[in-house]
Chains A and B, each alone.
Chain A
Amino acid sequence: MQNLIATQVDDRKQAFVLTETQRELLPLAFGSFLDSVATATGRGTFYNSREEQAAAVEAAHRDLFDIDRDVYTAALMLPGVTDYSRQIGVRRLLQATRDGGILPAEFEAVAITCLVRGLPTQRMLKLFGMLRRDRVNNARTRRLILSEILGADGLEFWAVKYREKLRVALTHAWGRRMASILRNVLAKSPGDRTEKESKIVRQNVNRFVRDHAVDRVEQCVRFVLGEENDVTLDRLAAYRDAKSDFDRGAVLPPETMEGLRSRFHKDRTSGEVLELTKSQLTTGQRIAVQRKAEQSGVEVKFDPARYDAVRLYVYAFEMGMTDAIRQTLRDKAEAAAARLPVRFERVGVLIDASQSMMGHDTQALRPIATALALRDLLSTTADHAVAITADGRATESYELVEPSGDTSLAAGLVQLLKAEPDVVFVLSDGYENAPSGRFGETVAAVRRIGIQTPIHQFTPVFAAESQGVRTLSDSVIAMPVSKPEAIGFGLLKALIESDVDRGVAALFGMTKVAGYLPAA
């Protein structure tokens, strides 16, 4: 399995140099960090509150950052890192002045931009809100906020959808006084501005904007800062007009129009808003509103192919499994398996379908959905796969398994091993209670019998109390995974534990930052 990593390592002589202390500290800190970034979402889990999760995640970030900020930055860029982890990573990088690091300084600037652009808009704006809350307001931060907002193609759409968040972010970057000045200056047409006023607009707005978009961006900024009169852009004008004319809201995002409906059109229903604005739904919203759409009798089409397997499983739990979803899950599993440079002849998959795999209310069903998506992927990597739940029930790929009851995995493990697989994957949150420790004891007994079949645990839940993922047995490495694409995480963790230099090289290779390494 380590070939998965080896194939992605740049074989050039590595020019970065790790100190002895870094070599010593990295494996532990990196392991804990990977557990965190692969699974933490900033929400509570079945087991830990939001605050406990946040404290444990912060500690994992701090420990790796303190060892080397470039390794930390590269690790944030790994595919499969949660958006939440990227948010707090970027905040940490911006907060601390660069001092050291094993790669050239320009790497970090490019990496930060990449990380921010990889975030969905609402999470990018949430990151800017975090920067404001933590009073991070250095030149790098201001430049980042202004260039990402003012240079965005979708600024007009954002302006009506995230008006307040944009106002907060821009005011944080400009300062209250400058924001106020800009509001007044932008109210004038360019020809009426004084030289000084034009310079202010150039320095604070136009230098972040492509030439042809200056007028559009200036209007958006005025709108965001509270000025609605005289706007001519379609969506901005629609926002203003929809307060009196419901039908003008057809080009607005549904939640924006819903807000206007609840304030200005109380005689209209949410269903009418959905019908009016359904063409404006984002990809994420199309799947999220299915239940509401069904209740309101509104048909909202969505293309399953545009969602990841975990999201599709959550959807299937809520709305029921269909042949279309099943086929898409199959396509995705096959595509993901094709990208993995490993194949097995026989694979055993043991699924923990206990009550705790339901997850916390704020991310309901995500752990079991992740486990099922992994089941499909792992089963697809084999010529012959057997997937069973802890109580020995066989499960077919692309089918739902409802989580309930206690956790007892030992008997299921033995049942799988009797089928003589090449490898066994256990998909579990790591909490065992019927009784606790039986799984570990069983693994030890299996080894004593002389069976050395590799047993791996994949864990979709971050456990605050263990500062990482929770292991079922001391002799089985638990690997974090939030989605099938992130399956390489656990292998990278194992590589860094066994060979730090090679592991770090693999990390840079996987995150495509090898180009920043000085030539050999």
Chain B
Amino acid sequence: MAIEVRVPTILRSYTGGSKVVEGAGDTLTALIDDLDAKHSGLKGRLITPEGGLHRFVNIYINDEDVRFLGALDAKLSDGDSVTILPAVAGGALGFAAAAALLGPRSNRPAAVLDRTKG
């Protein structure tokens, strides 16, 4: 099952510079595992050690944000197109305070401070 995945500049070091790669899987989790097998380390930039989607990236299936499709459980079909973008966010508030303000979103674990790892 072929799924086209568009990779942002910041993650292309994992894909040998490729902007578009192919993967397989019937859920987002399966797709990310498949991608990580071919592009080692990519998973760590998409999923937190706690197993949630990283706040620093947005992942879309076709035209929809996966956070509205069940996040990592989102279903995929042959021919779907997945787009990964860096989340654009920030602001004057300190990170911990920002995380608290954003609240505990089940799909958006905010307690992620180790972006530099991996």
Please determine whether chains A and B interact with each other in the same assembly. Answer: no
**A-to-B contact residues, CB < 8 Å:** none
